[in-house]
Structure 1
Amino acid sequence: MSRSIPNMMTAVEIAQWGGPEVLRRCRRPTPQPGPGEVLIRVLAAGVNRPDIMQRKGLYPPPPGASDLPGLEIAGEVAALGEGVREPAVGDTVCALVTGGGYAEYCLAAAALCLPIPRGLGPVEAAAIPETFFTVWANVFERGGLKAGESVLIHGGGSGIGTTGIQLARAFGATVFVTAGSAEKCRFCEQLGARAINYRQEDFVDRIKTLTDGKGVNLILDIIGGPYLQRNLSCLAPEGRLVLIAVQGGPKTEINLLPIFLNRLTLTGSTLRPRSVGEKTMIAEALRLKVWPLLESGRVRPVVHAIFPLSEAPEAHRLMESSQHMGKIVLSVV
């Protein structure tokens, strides 16, 4: 270890499976970067739904990953592992990680570190990796959204939703979202979407009305089982349904005929277990196609609330309440 890097660091660990109260501060050995890795002095870390699932014992980290929660960070490169030439020590970056973000220091694959976009600070930068990687991989790569098409995004007020609205609009698509309150609907409309309050309206009927019965070309879904048949009813011929979470449960019974009759595609993915090589391809696409949008201000991460690292339990409580709009971030310094 460099003399400037302490041997021990403060972190927040999951003491046992359970509610937010099981998150506790601890002291851990500062990790050392291996080949292809960098050590980042964390300035801010994003909070995401997978952190909640991991805390409950429902989403174990992949082999070799830290047991600490936290999938996205922003900070300063403190040390390089073998073979790393970029980024350099002292560079400020944001990074997608497989765990360990709730800490003063965190390891990241060098290839998954991106420069903090000009004009953004570490808190906003920490709100980028998980949602932007997810949206790009699923809306544009897996879902194939193109200019002139339409997309329905469930959970429009979430980090995924606010990112998806902005990126889809920036690339020329018409965006519809569902949200659970009038306030969230107004917020999504300010970002450029047509919003449907799913507590007051049937989103299937509303989509058919808004699209003159044609349906949408793409749906990004976080609910899963309970929405599956209804999603199929919203798709235009050749439409694509991309599943990225199952907040409503993973099982359901469906009528398969709409898939045949309308030549629909049903697919899904999860980001965390994918290889560094696969994620690197996403990172390079973001650097080329999305970073200019962030640096020009056309697209920005939406940060709802900032908590100090010591208040990680409160950050989780807010996320589980679903009262936030956009991202929740932990400030580590």
Structure 2
Amino acid sequence: MISIEIDFIYFFVSLFFLHRCLVSVSSEENKNLLLLYWMGTSFLGFLFLLSLSRWGIIGFGWETKSFFLVLTKFNLILFFTYQTLEERIFSFRRSIGFLLTLLLFVFFSSFFFWIQIFQTEIHAEDQALFLPFTIAVGAFVWSREMFWTNPNPMESKLGEGKNIHLSFLFLPCFLYVLSPFTTNYGFVEMIASVLLVSISSLVGFLLISQILKVSIPEEAEMGVWVGTVSFSSSLGAELLVTIPLAFFVGMFARGMYFYLDGLDWSRSGKRGVVAFLIPSILGIFLPFLVREPKDWVHAPYVLLGVQVLYFLSFYLVSSLVFGVLLLFKPKSE
């Protein structure tokens, strides 16, 4: 009974990821369309998993029999799915937009299998196991800023004036539901350490904003994203090491936002790179700084090669998928 209640809490929290996406959409019509895509994909996904289970087939990452935990993972994966194109998904015809959402959902769902391969065959250093998702989103964001500018630039400018939603402040920390520790009682203690690290990076992020005397939209949430993703590969490291380091990581991320601001990137592009891509790159290499050599699974140079391969595999494949999507870009743009 307790397990069911905990799974329901996870599911309830995961709905905030849906709410986060809906808040970022400027048009009421598009909000309804996003909700339709989201619910339709969840329904088909659940129906597919149910069909597989009837045949005795269980996919990697979907071993649970908990209805709420399955829906929780659906919500988290659909959150990443929306982040890849954001409002660009609405520039397609509705049937095409739904199909692309479904295909991207399948693409991200396959990550559970590839993560399992990397962990069992070459032993990549990644404790939380959601780093590939943020790497992929970062690749999509970078690529779309290079090759697919925002189709609604006026809406992007209007979005600059939106209030910061503090209800999403610690939302990134709940990505750890995708980790393999959610059934362990130590999960609560792990989340507590993640919160401390995230707050440290948030303080560093906000400090640079105060020094520059420039406030940016969603800066508090981005500061937490930086700490949560960057240190996801180094769980269990000494807090006396990670907390001060997270402070400087937050400062660095805010400096990168300032640099991208000078390049006249869109707001969503700057947010995506700072919240997903940069922390993912840092997460690949931070184990060298915060974990003792005796805890490394490989020799230093071998581990370096494994970590680089881990990053490039998901980054390049995601960039390739974006290139394929670009072929179907609406001609009107």
Question: More helix per residue: 1 or 2?
Answer: 2
Normalising by structure 1, we get a TM-score of 0.27
Query: What's the TM-score once normalised by structure 2's chain length?
Result: 0.27
- Which structure has greater strand proportion? 1
Q: Larger RCO: Structure 1 or Structure 2 (Cα < 8 Å, ≥ 6 residues apart)? A: 2
